[in-house]
């Protein structure tokens, strides 16, 4: 199937079960952690870059999760839905 007609990416994003939680790191710094993304179906580096630019923060993608500096639990669902993920599959634990 031609690349431009393939809906594989949107199907893969719709099937992801994403967990977002707030973690406290050293010196009391808050970090938003996005887990549950399948590394084989979603490019974590690309998604991390997009989230960092839309949420205006620093962060990284490693160990199968995306770590964003700061508390972004209020806006993260909105941004993930914009990127094609299913809102019913996103669980935010603040």
Sheet hosting strand 90-93, strand order edge to edge:
59-62, 65-69, 30-35, 18-24, 90-93
Q: pLDDT tens, position by position, for the chain (94 residues)?
A: 555 555 555 555 556 789 999 999 889 999 999 999 887 888 899 999 999 999 999 999 998 899 999 999 999 999 999 988 889 999 998 7
Instruction: Specify the CATH architecture of the domain 3-93.
Output: 2-Layer Sandwich (3.30)
- Residue located via tokens 């990416």: 9
Stretch (H or E) spanning 37: none
The domain locations on the chain are: 3-93
pLDDT of residue 2: 55
Q: What gap in Å lies between CA 79 and CA 48, rounded to an integer? A: 11
């Amino acid at each position: 199937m031609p690349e431009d007609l393939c809906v594989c990416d949107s199907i893969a994003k719709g099937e992801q079960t994403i967990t977002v939680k707030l973690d406290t790191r050293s010196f009391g710094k808050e970090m938003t952690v996005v887990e549950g993304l399948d590394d084989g179906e979603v490019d974590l580096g690309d998604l991390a870059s997009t989230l960092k630019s839309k949420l205006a923060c620093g962060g990284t993608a490693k160990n199968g999760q995306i770590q964003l500096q700061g508390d972004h639990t209020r806006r993260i669902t909105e941004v993930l839905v914009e990127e094609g993920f299913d809102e019913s599959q996103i669980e935010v634990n603040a």
